[in-house]
Amino acid sequence: MRPAPLRLSVNLVLRFGLSLLVAALIIALLLSWSGAEPATIADRLTTLSARDFWVSTGVLLFIYVLRGARFRVLLSSSELPERPNVVSITSVTAAHGLAAYFVPAKLGEAALVMYLRRYLGVPALEGLALLVVARLLDLAAVAGSLSIACLTLGALGAYPTLDWLIPLGSLLALMTVGFIWASSNGDRLFHIVTFGMRLTRLDRTRLGERVSRVAVKLQVALRSVRRTGLWRSALISIPIWLGVYLYYGVLARAFGLGDISFAETIFGASLAVLANLLPINGFAGFGTQDGGWVVGFTALGAAREVAMESALAFHLVYIFHICLFGLVGHCTLVARGAVKEAPRD
């Protein structure tokens, strides 16, 4: 029987290998379909002006600060060793952004729980509850934004051939309501899980008993989060995502997509974001994110090669920003040091 660390290393290597393979395959297919050339993608990067680069950098910093503020609101009733300040909570969001983007199969998302526990003293289950609520709020914001964009473009008749814009926008509006309900009733969702386990008698197994205990504790944590400024957190999510779309818009225009409207930016960017949420994902979002971008902007009339070149140029700048802020965040957290005693669950 192989030791657990060895199995973990093999699994990690396999996940990275699979994510690289997925990225290479999708990128190759997109390049072949669009007719874009790697040399022209490099040329696109040279068109980025210093002004657009620094504006996009500032916007992304603004997004990280707001994400930190949202976590701070959700942590307002937590009994922490010390109240997290703006620098520490922003550093956590930046470090988590780096891990979430590069670790395959979305396993990097779980790094937030570790950062919150190690550097802020947040219990693991409460950190997991925060992550669940934040991601549900993000899904509500993306679905709501894309819904508004589809309904706006459809109502204006800007794209007569896209007769599915209004039906899609209506469906997304319903999904937005569902995500909002889930973010405010997360404890009830886990109640359904525990009820299902009792119904199937899985709770009588050793694994079932362990899952049930964790689910009950997570219910309590989610209920606590729900009482601590959930709606203020939802309001903070609005400028967060306005900032995300501004970031996408600045770079999309800089890389040749022309004078696109804000609704068109939301449409193309939202498809890129949603594609990047797929559980089977290319390394650092390569392939999946670019495919969403290309599908979105070509549907709005952009030339295939321009859409593909701008997608990869945007992606490379975004990776630079993610790495820059992520490394600064990690260095700040290490310099700050771990909390002396992290509470036990």
Model pLDDT, residue 121: 87
311 in any annotated domain: yes
Contact 136, 179 (CB under 8 A): yes
51 in any annotated domain: yes
342 in any annotated domain: no
Residue 38: both structure tokens together? 């790697």
Q: Which candidate, 30, 162, 114, places its Cα nearest to that of 330?
A: 114
CA angle in degrees (0–180, nearest 5) for 183-189-192: 170
What is the Cα–Cα distance from 175 to 143, expressed in whole angstroms? 7
Residue 104: both structure tokens together? 């395959």
250 in any annotated domain: yes
Instruction: Name 206's Cβ contacts closer than 8 Å, sequence gap at least 6.
Output: none
Model pLDDT, residue 129: 83
Contact 81, 340 (CB under 8 A): yes
The sign of the CA dihedral 207, 213, 217, 222 is: positive
Number of domains in the chain: 1
Instruction: State the 10-residue block means of pLDDT for the chain, 345 residues long.
Output: 54 69 80 81 89 96 95 79 84 92 74 90 85 90 94 90 93 94 74 65 65 64 68 91 95 90 92 79 78 91 91 93 95 85 50
What is the Cα–Cα distance from 168 to 298, expressed in whole angstroms? 17
341 in any annotated domain: no
344 in any annotated domain: no
Query: 222 in the Ramachandran plot: left (φ > 0), alpha (ψ -120 to 50) or beta?
Result: alpha
205 in any annotated domain: yes
What is the CA 107 to chain-centroid distance, rounded?
A: 12
Q: Which domain holds residue 167?
A: 4-336
Model pLDDT, residue 93: 94
pTM for the model stands at 0.86
What is the Cα–Cα distance from 142 to 146, expressed in whole angstroms? 6
Phi, psi values for residue 45, rounded to 5°: -60, -35
Residue pLDDT, tens place only, 25-41: 878 888 888 888 877 88
Model pLDDT, residue 1: 46
Model pLDDT, residue 177: 94
78 in any annotated domain: yes
Up-side HSE of residue 198: CA atoms within 13 Å toward CB? 10
